[in-house]
Structure 1
């Protein structure tokens, strides 16, 4: 299932428990030959409330080239990648992230779209990806391995964290954006 070119759109998710526990608003738009996503999240992690803004710049294959994140609690993070697995964080080389093509921001289902679109998996096909995982609200980053499996290409994918053993079946829309993320996020109309 090949996804079509991105179109400008706005997506909102709430936390699984409801708006009082978290809300995300993201604007996605084509820019040059790639895509830019700019969002804001209001949430809580282990009773600590936070706000987070982010801006992601992806190429035509949905590989991250730049990510800027800023938490209202103070931390900020600027990641840059060559799209081939070499990274810099706040201007400094990050060899521990070598081989990561995607990022996964803990507080949003948006970043699941990157490998889903990029991998273009056929039914039953799986792929293990190495991601730069960003913890929120600290904005610390570490490499992790995840697996994606196409259950119904273009409609549903299984996500598995090989670090924690967590897994979830993710329904997506026709552009590969997560609709609902069981126990974590719900798409708002």
Structure 2
């Protein structure tokens, strides 16, 4: 049985869409379960996701299922004990050293590195960055800096994208400027 720790719902700011997720205890770790619905260049997407997280807040595995435009989606990303990743059981050596997943279609997966971020300080983490259509999965080096309270500076090295995230006490992003905003 899982015990819910927190739930959150977002509305997309850059397109029609919403996402909602639940964080729960799962054994010695955690589980993030969500449902993203949005419209993009491929059409409507209805993606359900489950992320299994260790007690250290690093990703163990993740599943994404549903539809994106006209395509069925069934993706399983897994990180082995040695840090090796697979995508639908196919080795992904380019993901060596990644600790997390980062789903481009939701702010929910920022939770894991944000939970590891100190109250004041900086941290760099590598994520297996999953995007659609595809799926495409590549490493994404991310830095997070918390200087005060619930505001975190975020930078993605490979895309040179930077912004200021607002986060809640559980570590969920509540404002992702121009992209997502917590709804209620």
TM-score, length of structure 1 as denominator length = 0.87
Q: Displacement, 1:165?
A: 1.4
Aligned partners of 1:50 and 1:137 also within 8 Å: no
Q: Which one has the bigger strand percentage? A: 2
Q: Secondary structure at the match of 1:117?
A: helix
> Equivalents in 1 of 2:108, 2:151: separation in Å?
15
Distance 1:182 1:56 in 2: 24
For residues 140 and 61 of structure 1, the distance between their equivalents in structure 2, rounded to whole angstroms, comes to 26
Say if 1:151 and 1:83 are closer, same or farther in 2 by CA, change over 3 A: farther
Which residue number corresponds to residue 109 of structure 1? 107
Secondary structure, aligned partner of 2:173: coil
Tell me how far 1:62 sits from its aligned partner.
1.1
Matched length: 179
Instruction: Note the residue ranges of structure 2 that are not aligned, 5 or more in a row.
Output: none
Q: Give the deviation of 1:122 after TM superposition.
A: 4.6
CA-based RMSD of the aligned residues comes to 1.9
Instruction: Tell me the residue number matched to 1:121.
Output: 118
Q: Which residue of 1 aligns with 2:22?
A: 27
Structure 1 equivalent of residue 11 of structure 2: 14
Measured in 2, the distance between the counterparts of 1:140 and 1:75 equals 12
Match of 1:152 in 2: 148
1:9 and 1:137 map into 2 onto residues whose CA distance is: 30
Aligned-pair CA distance for 1:84: 5.6
Match of 1:99 in 2: 97
1:151 to partner: Cα distance: 2.3
1:70 paired with 2:65, answer yes
Aligned 8 A contact 1:159 1:170 in 2? yes
CA distance in 2, matches of 1:170, 1:115: 13
- Counting only pairs closer than 5 Å after superposition, residues 84-95 of structure 1 correspond to structure 2 as 85-95=83-93
Larger RCO, structure (CA 8 Å, separation 6 or more): 1
Answer yes or no: is the 8 Å Cα contact 2:6–2:170 preserved in 1.
Answer: no
Question: Contact conserved, 2:123 with 2:144, CA < 8 A, in 1?
Answer: yes
Distance in 1 (CA, whole Å) between partners of 2:34 and 2:119 is 30
**Stretches of structure 1 lacking an aligned partner (at least 5 in a row):** 1-5
